[in-house]
Structure 1
Amino acid sequence: MAETEPREGRLAAGLPAVAAGAVYGWAHWCFAGPAPPPTAVAWVGAVVLLVAACAGYVVAVGGSGSVFGGLLLAVGLLLTVAAADQTASRAESATCVVREVERRLQSSSGEGAPPAKTVYRLALDCPGGYPDELKDDRAVAEAGQEVRVAYDPRRRASPALEGTASPWRAVVWAVLLLAVSTVIAGRRGARDPERPAPDGRRPR
């Protein structure tokens, strides 16, 4: 038992990195691959990977810490998808008129997660009808103003204000949250020396 627990702890601690690699690989293929899956398949695949990773984490880690660590893992994996989206190519650009601006408060997912922020959704009128909206965490323009928008003509990556698409913010937060979930997982199997093992015997 004493030998298997550290091994199980190491396996659990490696799960966030493996999950992040799998999610990023899937998202990168969906956003930038030469032959990506249909949109519905891409979303279903992402949800399956996310749920499987979090469920596997909770089972492998166990205890109350697994729920908190699983939440951090989920947010970290969502940010991993966001990073993949920001690295995707947006080969075209257009000058669009802002038709309407909506503001929505995006609450924090809990302690250790990114803080609450205001998300702005700009409804756009662009030549050809696409893109038709732009989301940003800054008020980049008001209704009636023009903005220059970079977009993927294949409509796989989300539009972004020209010159601003950068994955680094998402990468930093993803690495931080995944690191904390890894630390929580790495403590799996650690017991008080005086606490009996599950078979009722005390450690020697």
Structure 2
Amino acid sequence: MSKLGKSVFYLCVSGVLLLSLWSLLKALLHHPGQPSVGAAFWLGGFACTTAVAGVFGMLGLAVPLHRLPGPGFYNAVNHGTISRLYRTLRVEWLRRLLCWAHYHKPRHRQAFYGGGRAQLHVLLDNTQGAEMCHLLALIAQLLLLPYFLHLGRYDLAAGATVGNLFGNFYPIVLQRHHRARLHRLGLRAQPGAVQLYPSL
């Protein structure tokens, strides 16, 4: 498939996810008593987070969202703060989960980081793409909270908050942690084209 064809495909997938999310929000408005508290917490925490992150993940594969900020945004990494967050929040468990669930496949590992010092710039670029998609998803999901609260669905709001924490904030900290380690090797974000690979 050509590069243009892939971009169109990812845009279509992003559109389908966005329509699904919109239908879900409309259903909540028209059926205020549904679903139950437990199901709503799960819906807000998993389904909503997955849909929002999926929209921006697919959109990021189609268009270079990572170019919105300049290199200064990606290079502004406070190593001490990121290291403390990484340890305190136990983000290492997310890294292990991703390695077990996704990156155990050689094809996926090669795409995100080919291995060896010569390929470290690919890893650096991909951390930028992954972080930007999760950052936009985090902001979008925060903007959904007033809607849930307006409906009186505190269960949905709580689930969405928890999902946003683990589904978007944790990955941002993980990518910043990767980049802090790369900075110690002298690698910094540079202006120009960046390869983007789908990553949680």
Give 1 or 2: higher helix fraction: 2
- Report which of the two structures shows the higher radius of gyration computed on alpha carbons: 1
Task: Tell me the TM-score range normalised by the shorter chain.
Answer: 0.3 to 0.5
> TM-score when scaled to structure 1?
0.33
Give 1 or 2: higher strand fraction: 1
Relative contact order higher in (CA < 8 Å, ≥ 6 apart): 2
